[in-house]
Amino acid sequence: MKLWIILLVLVAVAAAAVFGWQALTVDPGLLSIRLGQTRIETTLVFAVAVLLVGWIVLGLLWRGVRWPMRAWKLRGQRRGRERFAAGLTALAEGDHRRALRALEKASQHPELHAPAQLATARAAHARGDGERTEAALDEASKYAPAATLALRAQFLLEHGNAEAALALLKPAADKNDLPPVGWRLLTEAALLTGDSALALRAVDALAAGDALTPEALAALRARALTAALTAAPDSEALNALWSGLPRAQRAMPEAIAAYARRAATLAQPLAAMDEIESALRKQWSERLVAVWGQLGPAHADTRLARAEGWLAAQPDSPALLLALGRLCVQGKLWGKAREYLERGLAHAPSAALWETLGDCMGGQGNAANAAVCYRNALRIARGEATQELSDAARAPLDTRASVAEERDAHGMPRLAIPKES
């Protein structure tokens, strides 16, 4: 369609040119100019041609006159960009003195003034020059107020002054006038000061702006949800917050774990158990299984029986073995507790397993082995070698890898076929 329109316009222009030329050949027109005793007469066509040529010549002359000034300006812009690049490179290298020199020269160019002042503030802050940092920030705020506000908040957070950073960012947040980095800094400041509701709001603003990768956004949201759920003052507030979350957020393992821990603390162990079981039916989670063993003494027998049922499908899960060990310790089932915990240590040693085994040994009255276990918990946390228990002469534990039951798409169990040697 556009091609046909272009063709029609070209045809119309050509027709107008033909008819115009025919009209001019019949009567080219007469132009008479008189100035004092001087009189000039010529055709209209020639006068128009002279005007066009004169316009072109004047344009060329003007370009020629402006060329040195334009070349000088372009050279200055190029030098400014080179200095700005050199300043950023020096800033990345940690050579803040050289960065300040280059950025000061770059800031003399109007188009680079704001970014150069922001980079100058970073370099001066890294050197501990508070006076120059404030001066650069004050100058940058005239041209880039949002970026300057975020940078001030970042400096406050780096100095551990989360309250001041929150007070600085909150007025702009109330007006929805923060850049993406400002919302991220507001989330950090809110989490540090315990304002979990504001942290959740800031995360939602970040999600709407698509400023972070999905992984980074999920990690930040998990922190905010965990803080909000943990800070719920009572069961009513906890349930209201939990029911108000979108389904996708209620499916996050970090959020389920935080809800379960808080619900158990607020004497709602059944609600905590229901959420964990529902999540584990959909997808296995080491984090949630670990929380299963940390819900306190309520319904310990039921939780132990359910966890032992999961053992058939997840025989080598360190978190499940730890949870089983903890539940057995709560029930004073010392022999089963030791078996589960030593099995977990054989697969994946951890400080938590050694500490729980120490509780088991203490419950059995074996103070010497309990002390060894507690020391091993500290050693493994430091990356040091652990010490054997004093009764290591007992029958060796079977640490061969267990085989979990596998089922096909129709739910029928598959037979484990041994591999040929």
Q: Is 304 helix (H, G, I), strand (E, B) or coil?
A: helix
| Cβ–Cβ under 8 Å, residues 87 and 53 | no
Percent of the chain at pLDDT > 90 equals 59
Architecture of domain 144-231: Alpha Horseshoe (1.25)
Q: CA 133 to CA 263: how far, in whole Å?
A: 47
Q: What is the DSSP secondary-structure string of 343-362?
A: HHHHHS--HHHHHHHHHHHH
Would you state the pLDDT for residue 399? 42
Q: How far apart are CA 189 and CA 195, in angstroms?
A: 8
Q: Higher pLDDT residue, 412 or 260?
A: 260
Contact 179, 147 (CB under 8 A): yes
Which whole number is the average pLDDT over 231-253? 93
**pLDDT at residue number 72:** 62
Residue 48: the pLDDT is 73
Q: Is the pLDDT of residue 274 over 60?
A: yes
Which residues are within 8 A (CB) of 178 and not within 5 positions of it... i.e. 6 or more apart? 146, 149, 150, 169, 172, 186, 205
**Residue 328 confidence (pLDDT):** 94
List the chain domain ranges.
Answer: 144-231, 235-298, 305-387
Mean pLDDT confidence for 113-121 = 92
The confidence score (pLDDT) of residue 146 equals 92
Q: Do domains 144-231 and 305-387 have the same CATH topology?
A: yes
Which one is predicted more confidently, 102 or 64?
102
Phi/psi for 115 (5° steps) reads -65, -35
User: What's the rounded Cα separation, in Å, for the pair 360 and 93?
Assistant: 53
Task: Please say whether the beta carbons of 266 and 238 come within 8 A.
Answer: yes
Mean pLDDT of 329-352: 93
Residues 6+ apart with CB under 8 A from 385: 379
pLDDT reported for residue 27: 65
Query: Average pLDDT over the chain, rounded to whole?
Result: 85
pLDDT confidence of residue 56: 81
pLDDT of res. 28: 66
Could you tell me the pLDDT band of residue 162, with boundaries at 50, 70 and 90?
A: very high
Residue-level pLDDT at 31: 66
**CA-closest candidate to residue 99, choices 107, 108, 91, 111:** 91
* Rounded average pLDDT over 7-13: 80
| 345 pLDDT higher than 60 | yes
Question: What 8-state DSSP symbol labels residue 408?
Answer: -
pTM: 0.72
| Least confident span in 49-53, 174-178, 213-217, 370-374 | 49-53
Residue among 280, 276, 279 nearest 292 (CA): 276
- Closest by CA to 222, choosing from 194, 203, 247, is 203
- For residues 31-42, give the mean pLDDT: 73
Is pLDDT of 86 > 80?
yes
Most confidently modeled range among 19-28, 69-78, 95-104: 95-104
Listed in sequence order, the DSSP H helices in 269-366 are 269-282, 286-292, 300-310, 318-330, 334-347, 351-363
Residue entry with tokens 């959420």:
275
Would you state the pLDDT for residue 418? 41
Q: Which residues, at least 6 apart from 114, have a Cβ–Cβ distance to it below 8 Å? A: 140, 143, 144, 147
Cβ-based neighbours of 217, under 8 Å, separated by 6 or more: 203, 206, 207
CATH node for 305-387: 1.25.40.10
pLDDT band at 410; cut points 50, 70, 90: very low
Angstrom distance (rounded) from CA 51 to CA 131:
62
- The answer for residues whose C-beta is within 8 angstroms of residue 365's C-beta and 6 or more apart is none
Q: Where are the alpha helices (DSSP H) in 175-299?
A: 180-193, 196-209, 214-230, 235-244, 247-250, 253-265, 269-282, 286-292
Cβ within 8 Å of residue 166, ≥6 positions away? 186, 189, 190, 193, 195, 198
User: Residue 421 — very low, low, confident or very high, per pLDDT cuts 50/70/90?
Assistant: very low
**Does pLDDT of 417 surpass 50?**
no
